[in-house]
Amino acid sequence: MTILGAAWRCGMSAAGSARALAVLALPRLLLLVVFVSLSGYAWFAVQQDALGVGGVAVAAPPALPVPYQLLNDSEPPPLEELAGLAPDDDGVLIDLRDFRFLLGGAAPARCRPLVLVLVHTALGHTAERALIRATWGSRLLAPRAEVLVRFMVGQPSGEGADAAQRRIAEEAAAFGDIVQGSFVDTYRNLTYKHAMALKWFARRCPEATYLLKVDDDVVVNTPVLLDFVHNAMSPHGARRLLACTVLAHARPKRTWRSKWHVGYREYPHDEYPTYCAGWAVLYSPDVAFALYREVQRTPYFWIDDVLVTGVLAERLGVTHASWASLVLTSDELPRILAGDLRPTFMVALWYDVGLDADTQGPLWHRVLAEVASSSSSRGPGGPGGAGNTTRDAWSATGTSP
């Protein structure tokens, strides 16, 4: 028997029936109110989590991830992205409203390298830069049309700043490969350096086919890099590519004794999103543009790897492609030096494999010997002479298209 029937049989008045209906509807109304409230709270929480740094809401929820795509023929670079930037963007670096390039700010003529390599380096690391110029960054090894190297630095401060500025200016004049921004060159300012590198790409060399960001304690096997781009990837470029050593489920260091201490006000969550180990990252131009646009309007967070390739990449729905099989390991190094293993690695971090500025010579001699050997019998593998080595290694990671 329905409630209306029961009300009629009991001789309820119309007003009594209305009260009965109200009693019946009340639980449903309460459920609706709770649902709307929870939905609103969830929306607010998503907005607050859009950045996850400092508890500041700045963007919509992250998009769904999609895989990267290789281009089969030449397409114009996404220069239209520049039109979406603020009119004063060139003079702004995240929250620095008076940013300017102190050195290397002019755009190179016809800047269309296959790989634009932007090296994060400290002002005092003169020896590291010299080593890169003499080895994997040498123009004799890769013409400028293939690989263009620029070194990213900030400005000196404190005692001896004038002398340090003179030295870096002289180095810039001698080699023409220094890019200096108007922020202090310190460890806590690495996000400014990362953003400046993306700015220099976006506004000075936007027609690069790929962008490789590395630290100055990294060895890049340039012949294998070019083979990788030509064969495992595409010389015409890619879309939505973010390739690196992928780090997942990393947690903020909360102890004050840690060099990487992060307070709850800086980052309130218990776990970082998946991000790239920042010592070597390969971007397609569209990803570099998008990350630059996002970092320009995001509150500053000093761990650049986490912010740029983690928080912002997640917000944009960019997935990470692992190149683990192309990274030199400490087990492989002695076998390469002994001649028992071909140097088919693409990148190596000094610390991870026990290299330093004084011990790279033998490794680099093996790389050059491999180039000479491959050049004499080069097949259809393309530049670098490594054939399908990098294609096979890339496929082994499970990320090859």
Reported as a single tens digit per residue, the pLDDT across 281-302 is 999 999 999 999 999 999 999 9
Here the tokens at position 32 are 């609706």
* pLDDT above 80: residue 73: no
Say what the pLDDT of residue 361 is.
85
Here the tokens at position 300 are 């500053």
Whole-angstrom distance between the N-terminal and C-terminal Cα of the chain?
A: 63
Q: In terms of Cα–Cα distance, which of 293, 248, 288 is closest to 271?
A: 248
Average pLDDT of the residues in 33-56: 38
pLDDT tens-digit map of 150-185? 999 999 999 999 999 999 999 999 999 999 999 999
Average pLDDT of every residue of the chain: 80
Lowest mean per-residue pLDDT among 39-43, 91-95, 207-211: 39-43
Instruction: Report which residue type is found at 280.
Output: A
pLDDT tens-digit map of 227-249? 999 999 999 999 999 999 999 99
Domains recognised in the chain with CATH numbers: 89-326 (3.90.550)
Chain position carrying tokens 């309820």: 12
Q: Is 131 helix (H, G, I), strand (E, B) or coil?
A: helix
Confidence bin at 347 (pLDDT 50/70/90): very high
Q: Express the helix, strand and coil content of the chain in percent, nearest 5 each.
A: 40, 15, 40
Average pLDDT of the residues in 358-376: 85
Q: Residue 102 and residue 178: Cα distance in Å, rounded?
A: 10
